Structure 1
Amino acid sequence: MNTPLIAVTCDTREFDGALWHATQQQYVSAAANAAGVTPLLVPALGATLDLDRVLDAVHGVMATGSKSNVHPALYGGDASEANGPYDPARDATSLPLIRKALERGIPVLAICRGMQELNVALGGTLQTEIQERDGALDHRMPDAPTRDKRYAPRQTLTAAPGTCLAAIAGAAPIQVNSLHRQAIDRLAAGLRAEAFAEDGIIEAVSPDNAQAFALGVQWHPEYWATSDPTSAAIFAAFGDAVRRHASARPSRSPIAEFSTRLGA
């Protein structure tokens, strides 16, 4: 069987006055090298895209992290310059893509911003600038000289028993590289919290009654996906689910697809 395809969400970025659709290398490398799947970037074109057609072509979805935050208008909050930047084009693409993937039983791995998108897509809310709360840990990226040090695991989590994460990571505490300024506030109906930071912030979620693998993590397993055992296990589980979905979906030859389009 050919390597299955996954859809990977993109941010919009401006370079030299031109708009680009992009994601970081670490996400697509982890998908290819640790999950064993072929990543396809989905441009952040919102309603212009036929998302059902996209999902017809892939066997998994990975919602990536980003420097931008989900726009507060999508969950009843107030936007502010301090809470930005925002990327409405990404919001308009990622949220419906996640909802449709879950409805169709397509495996989903949602990372950092992607986990926040998963919660908002299903009706939950977010809390912003969490480092300003009394008693909160500072979950933001540390000021360190190298990316390896900025992405180094520094928080301890334990997966709740009987959860998707526990099946992957086991019952022992794990160290994670959680780097974020906003987090889940009200958990969406249909989602369950799978792990918490020491200050009570939700760090992992999964949908109740999901038809296929679906996991959201607030940290960055993609960065150490080929060296850290827990990170590698998350991507291996996602890759296995994508391959199961690809095997179960009826395949069609390019000739049959072309004939269908011609109305034959």
Structure 2
Amino acid sequence: MARPCVAVATDTIEFAGTEWFATQRQYVMAAARAADVTPLLVPNLGKELDCEAVLDAVDGLLLTGSVSNVYPALYGGEVSPANEPYDPARDATSFALLELALKRGLPLLAICRGLQELNVARGGTLQTEIQSIDGNLDHRAPQSPDRAERFAVKHSIRAAPGSHLAGLIGDEPVMVNSLHRQAIARPGSGIVVEAAAGDGIAEAVSVQDARSFAMGVQWHPEFAAENDPVSQKLFRAFGDDVRAHAARRFPEQEAIQAKA
């Protein structure tokens, strides 16, 4: 069977006097190499996007991280210049894809902003500018032009015993590279917190009773997906479930491949 396709969220970026729909190379390469799937970038067309048609063509959904934050009005928060930038076109597109993907039982991997989108889509709330809250770690990236320094591991997490995440990476502490300014405040319906940082900030979640792989992580496994064991296990599990979903959709192709 050919490598199955995965829909990948994009950001709305202003460049050369116009808007572009794009995502960072590291997400695309992690999907292609670590998950072994074919990534397809989805434009932020909001209501003009035929989400049914998009998801008919893929076997999974990857929600990427971004410099933008989820618009506060979507979870009852207050708009603030300190919390900018926002990307309403991405919000409209990702939320529509999320709702339909979960309904269909498509495998889902949500990273950083993607985790926050997942929580809000399920009726949860976010806390913003978490570095300004007493007792919290500073989860922001250091101000450096060196990407390796910006995406370096910063703190440890520990998967809850018996959780889906623990089944992938074990329940011993591991170091992760969190780069974010907002985080889960109240988990949404069916959102299960599977790991947290030392300050209690949720770092991994799953969707209760999901029919396929459905997990969100607050850190950035895509950055080291080719050499970090934890990142590799996460993307491999996502890719395996994408292939399983494709095999259920196209059993005749699976049978032909098995005979080859």
Give the TM-score of the pair, scaled to structure 1.
0.94
| Residue in structure 2 matched with residue 44 of structure 1 by the alignment | 44
Match of residue 125 from structure 2: 125
SS at match of 2:215: strand
Q: Quote the residue 1:259 is aligned against.
A: none
Q: How does 1:23-42 map to 2 (within 5 A)?
A: 23-42=23-42
Q: Tell whether 2:17 aligns with 1:7.
A: no
Cα separation, 2, equivalents of 1:5 and 1:252: 18
Structure 1 vs Structure 2 CA RMSD:
1.2
DSSP-derived class of the 2:83 partner: coil
- What letter is aligned with 1:233? K
Cα distance in 2 for partners of 1:161, 1:85 equals 37
1:145 is displaced (CA, Å) by 4.5
- Structure 1 unaligned residues grouped into runs of 5+: 254-264
Correspondence for 1:103: 103
Is it true that 1:54 corresponds to 2:39 in the alignment?
Answer: no
Distance in 1 of aligned mates of 2:153 and 2:236:
19
Partner amino acid, structure 1, of 2:204: A
Deviations 1:81-114 (A, max 9, x none): 1100000000000012111111101000000000
Summarize deviations over 1:164-218 as a string: whole Å, max 9, x none.
Answer: 1111111111110011000000100111000011001011000100000010000
Letter in 2 for 1:198: G
Instruction: Determine the structure 2 residue equivalent to 1:113.
Output: 113
The Cα shift of 1:143 comes to 2.3
C-alpha separation in 2, matches of 1:233 and 1:252: 29
Correspondences of 1:1-264 after superposition (within 5 Å): 1-250=1-250
Partner of 1:262: none
C-alpha separation in 2, matches of 1:186 and 1:223: 28
Farther-moved stretch of structure 1 (217-226 vs 97-106): 97-106
Aligned residue in 1 for 2:258:
none
In 1, Cα distance between equivalents of 2:252 and 2:122: 32
Letter of the aligned partner of 2:153 in structure 1? Answer: P
Once the two structures are superposed, residues 204-245 of structure 1 have per-residue CA deviations (whole angstroms, 9 ceiling, x without a partner) of 000100000010000000000000000010000000000000
Kindly tell me the number of residue pairs found equivalent between the two proteins: 253
CA distance in 1, matches of 2:145, 2:66: 20
Letter of the 1:184 partner, please give it: I
- Rounded Cα–Cα distance in structure 1 between residues aligned with 2:232 and 2:144: 24
User: CA–CA distance in 2 between the matches of 1:73 and 1:143?
Assistant: 29
Q: Aligned partners of 1:13 and 1:200: how far apart in 2?
A: 32
Please identify runs of 4+ aligned residues in structure 1 that moved more than 3 A.
Answer: 250-253
Tell me how far 1:56 sits from its aligned partner: 0.5
SS in structure 2 at match of 1:243? helix
* In 1: Cα distance, 2:32 partner to 2:56 partner: 20
Q: Which digits, 9 at most, give the CA deviation of each residue in 1:42-81, with x for residues without a partner?
A: 0000010110111100000000000000000100111111
Q: d(CA) in 2 for partners of 1:236 and 1:196?
A: 22
Q: Distance in 2 between matches of 1:62 and 1:252?
A: 26
Measure the CA separation in 2 of the matches of 1:24 and 1:218. 17
Task: Tell me the CA shift for residue 250 of structure 1.
Answer: 3.6
From the superposition, tell whether residues 122 and 252 of structure 1 become closer, same or farther in structure 2 (CA, over 3 Å): farther
Q: Alignment partner of 1:248: what SS?
A: helix
Partner secondary structure for residue 82 of structure 2: coil
Helix, strand or coil at the partner of 1:109: strand
Q: Aligned with 1:178: secondary structure?
A: coil
* 1:112-153 superposed Cα distances (whole Å, 9 cap, x missing partner): 000000000111010000000011100000123411111111
Paired with 1:153 and 1:144, the residues of 2 have a C-alpha distance of 14
Q: Which residue in the other structure is 1:260 paired with?
A: none
Matched residue SS, 1:82 = helix
